[in-house]
Amino acid sequence: MELFFPDEAAIRFGAFVWVLLLAFYGLCVVLVVLTIRPRLVIYNISVDQLRPIVADLVDQLDPNARWAGDSLSLPALGVQLHLDPSLLMRNVALVSAGAEQNHLGWKQLETALAEKLSDYQFGRNLAGVAILAVGLCLSGTLAVFIAEAPRDIAAALFEMLWLGR
């Protein structure tokens, strides 16, 4: 947060500068979200499990659909995508494969895929348990540091946020 922290603005506006800074970061996130290509991420499923489900669904949505390896073209929906697996987390992303995409077609695909996948049950991913354990360890360590010196932590926080000036 301090990378783009405007010292002069903090002196002039005081603690209100944090509202402006958070608004700036929020607008940057919105800009990125609006400019990236459409994608759908399906969690806790392998590409081998998802591909037949998508193939069945595509036959219903667009009879002119064509597969080319892991790429799929749905001309009636105006959607072109490819399957992008994440092996460690057992996720598959359906990522757009071109600049010309129909967002309504993507919404139709998303709705139909969510409806179709609600009938399936897949096993749990053990990597999630490991990530949860690491997160709990980090949270516990942070709690111990805060409990050891609460006044020092509060003073450092007030100094960082420019609230004590």
Question: How many other CB atoms sit within 10 Å of the CB of residue 14?
Answer: 12
Kindly report, residue by residue over 137-151, the tens digit of the pLDDT: 999 999 999 999 999
Residue listed under structure tokens 């946020």: 161
CB distance 55 to 67 below 8 Å: yes
In Å, how far are 41, 103, 160 from 37, measured between CA atoms? 13, 10, 37
Q: What is the pLDDT of residue 106?
A: 94
Name the pTM for this structure. Answer: 0.68
CATH architecture of the domain with residue range 38-117? 2-Layer Sandwich (3.30)
Kindly report, residue by residue over 79-124, the tens digit of the pLDDT: 999 999 998 888 999 999 988 889 899 999 999 999 999 988 887 7
C-alpha 165/C-alpha 150 separation (Å) is 20
What is the rounded end-to-end Cα distance, in angstroms, of the chain? 19
Residue listed under structure tokens 């006044």: 151
